[in-house]
Amino acid sequence: MRQLIIVLLASLALGQQAFAANASFKCNAQSSKVEKLICSDKALAQKDVSAANLYKSVMKSLPKDQQQSLREEQRGWLEGRNACDKAADMRACIDEDYTQRIKELKDR
């Protein structure tokens, strides 16, 4: 019985950790190294969600003829963020990319 309780508590703790780091995208086995780090890091996941929400908000505020430009800008930014997998400190690179992108989106 005691072992069952320990297993249940451990499962609950692991579930809470996974839930705590919800990114704006689906985290799965096919995710890139950068995405996997975002999915496992609560602070990066929160920045990801903030950036995604800001992007959606800015997109809605733009006239249709300017939305494609923002989409292309976002794709370029994502490519840059994903290039952090080559950085000496991948986490710091991702964190800085999100900080900068959130600032850029807020300035719009």
How far apart CA 98 and CA 76 sit, in angstroms, is: 13
List, for residues 24-75, the tens digit of each pLDDT value: 999 998 889 999 999 999 999 999 999 999 999 999 999 999 999 999 999 9
Look up the pTM and report it.
Answer: 0.78
Q: How far is CA 70 from the centre of its chain?
A: 18
- What is the C-alpha end-to-end distance of the chain, expressed in Å? 58
